[in-house]
Structure 1
Amino acid sequence: MNDQALLASGSYNVYMGSALSSIAALSKGIPVITVATVFQKSPICIYTHKNISTMDQLKHSKRTTILEAKKDMDNWWPCAVQKFGFAKSRMGTYTGSLIPFLEGNKIAQQGYIINEGYDIKKADVKFNTFLLANYGYPQYSEPIESTKSFADKHSNILRKFILASMIGWKSCMSNPELGDKLILKVNKKQALAHLKFAVRMIKKYNLLTDKSLGYRLDEMSNKRWNSIYDVALAGKIVEKGFNVKRAYSLAFMKNIDVKLVIPKDYE
């Protein structure tokens, strides 16, 4: 059973999903609703070898196979087809292992910009990174989802949960070392350098927020959701006429004014 089914059954009250998967679930009759977002930009990216330096090159490099996880067929791949002209014949399966990419210069692969790049650098492989959000991918990432019934019945609890989550993100980014110490304590395999790499990527690519939003967290808009709907429609995730406003609520943003501060010296 997937997370959204567990949410609908009442086993979860909230969970972190994705805007497109929320639309897909709602179109299938699963009564989910997005009430907040953590990442303004999706961290989904495509890694290429140094011979591919532009998205246009990647589009026209027919010999390059793009590895993509099957679970993301309803997420970034429809946008890649719609906006970048990627052909389904170029799609390969990403299993979570970097070995095919590291060993084959005709391979490009999806990844999380805060994650795989660290290991690719450690392997001393020269590469380029394309953050899909910078090329028109409108997805909100790690949004907070609930059900319509829970949101209606427990709006005050949900609003407090969202506020606490945003304060938590602000605190974590303002002083990452505190969280890092706890992570390293429970996960002996985690490298501090990797955690610092993730923070640098969040800063570099403005994943959580940016200057245009006054560095506020948890900002959503009707315009952005309409763009996400266009991707869902083009990818045949939903049919024309689907009411995208059923998939989200902007009401929970009210009175939540948490601004991000990230220290410049956390390198």
Structure 2
Amino acid sequence: MFPQIYHFRWVSILAVLTLLGCSSSSQESVGSTASRPVGDTPANIKVAVQLNWYPEAEHGGIYQAVADGTYEKAGFDVDVRSGGRATPVAPELQLGRVQFAMANADDVVLFRREGMDIVAVMAVMQDSPRCILVREDSGVKDFGDLAGMTLQRQTGRLFLEYMRSKGILDQVQEVPYYNSVASMVADPKIAIQAYSFAEPLLAREQGMKVRTLMVSDLGWNPYSSVLITTGKLIREDPQLVASFVEATRDGWRNYLRDPKAGNAAILKANKHGMTPAALEFGSAELRPLAVPAGMDEADVGTMSLKRWQELVDQMEELEPGRPSVVKAEDCFTLDFL
């Protein structure tokens, strides 16, 4: 079973949605567009995008599209809203306060489990950046070597449930993680949850040689940096969704070619200690995750039913006995790619 915190988190979200009911969107130019003719995108239509974390390289294509004028050329006036540890991404979408948001693929499945009509319209990172970070002098070379280590992690994360299902954490002490590499720098027996394009640099800047154990190598590989919206907006204004997705894809293609403009915009928006070096490292490490070997840059954002079905099946296996309520084909659409 998932940790108690997982259950109460989603019950709380549903309670908020029930209390707020039919709150209207603050974006007057979106939500009354069902009659817009296909192909007609008004100039300066206001669109809000909710991030799932503080602005970082994983949001680079969105900031690039703002900074280099890609969104403006497509007729959009975009408000990018920073996220954080407790950002209510799905409720913001459901209540119409934002039109798009960022999430990971497993989040989408969780949202739909709770009855929220959330749909993925593009997925930037084909391979997950999720990893376990260890010091090179720890003696840990693969997941089987983690026995006897202390893992700093955030509770309620599905990748941890997957690792537990494989027995990897049976002999690992788990303690809270507070978004710092300090403990690992001080103690070679400490491992931390990480993203491959972020924490490794922080450790190296403090003189540590580190090794990343990619969770995707275990078979847990949900799409990351996924652009999501509501089924309602897709049904009422498919042209807006199509235009915004294409502009966002262009933003990501531009960012992957030359991230300078996007990184400058992220640096301005992030007030939580972001540095130019971190963004330079992040954007470089992110590229092979977004455009892995054998994939063309033109296909940035692509998704497949096979990958979504595999994820839904894995999540059901993690919680046997729970009714199967999510269909993989409902989690995403390729109509706008």
Contact 1:20 1:74 in 2 (8 A): no
Structure-to-structure mapping, 1:56-205, within 5 angstroms: 56-58=144-146, 61=147, 63-70=148-155, 73-83=156-166, 85-87=168-170, 90-184=173-267, 190-203=274-287
Distance 1:84 1:36, change over 3 A: farther
> Which has the larger displacement, 235-244 or 115-124?
235-244
**Alignment partner of 1:210 out of 292, 301, 305:** 292
* Residue of structure 1 aligned with 2:303, choices 189, 198, 220: 220
Q: More deviation in 138-147 or 226-235?
A: 226-235
Counterpart of 2:154, as a letter, is A
In the other structure, the counterpart of 2:143 is: 55
Give the superposition deviation at 1:241.
2.9
Partner of 2:112: 26
Q: Tell me how far apart the structure 2 counterparts of residues 52 and 88 of structure 1 sit (CA, whole Å).
A: 14
1:214-252 deviations in Å (ceiling 9; x for gaps): 332011111101111122112229935332222222222
Q: TM-score, normalised by structure 1?
A: 0.83
Amino acid at match of 1:65: T
1:97 is aligned with what amino acid? S
Contact 1:32 1:145 in 2 (8 A): yes
The CA deviation at 1:42 is 1.7
Cα separation, partners in 2 of 1:202 and 1:107, compared to 1, 3 Å: same
* Preserved CA contact (<8 Å) 2:118 2:230: yes
Change (3 A) 1:111 1:86: same
Write out per-residue CA displacement over residues 55-98 of structure 1, whole angstroms, 9 at most, x where no aligned residue: 2212xx1x21221113xx24322222234632396322111122
Length-normalised TM-score, structure 2: 0.67
Instruction: Find the aligned partners of 1:238 and 1:102 in 2 and give their Cα distance.
Output: 42
8 A contact 1:46–1:132 mirrored in 2: yes
Kindly indicate whether the alpha-carbon contact (under 8 Å) linking 1:46 and 1:108 is maintained by their aligned counterparts in 2. Answer: yes
- In 2, Cα distance between the equivalents of 1:248 and 1:187? 29
Whole-angstrom CA distance in 2 between matches of 1:91 and 1:181? 37
For the 8 Å contact 1:114–1:198, the answer to whether it is kept is yes
| CA distance, structure 1, for counterparts of residue 252 and residue 167 of structure 2 | 33
Tell me, what secondary structure is at the counterpart of 2:235?
Answer: helix
Q: Contact 2:316–2:324 (CA<8 Å) still a contact in 1?
A: no
Distance 2:320 2:296 in 1: 33
The 8 Å contact of residues 305 and 328 in structure 2, kept in 1 or not, is answered as: no
Among 310, 315, 318, the residue aligned to 1:235:
318
Match of 2:129 in 1: 43
1:135, distance to aligned residue in structure 2 (A): 3.2
| 2:332 corresponds to which of 223, 240, 248 | 248
Deviations 1:121-163 (A, max 9, x none): 0111222111222332221111111111111111111111111
CA RMSD, Structure 1 to Structure 2 (Å): 2.3
Q: Which residue of 1 aligns with 2:80?
A: none
2: CA distance between counterparts of 1:23 and 1:212?
27
Percent identity over paired residues: 21
Letter of the aligned partner of 1:66 in structure 2?
Answer: L
Structure 2 alignment gaps of length 5 or more: 1-12, 14-87
1:260 aligned residue:
none
Kept in 2: contact 1:225–1:244 (CA 8 A): yes
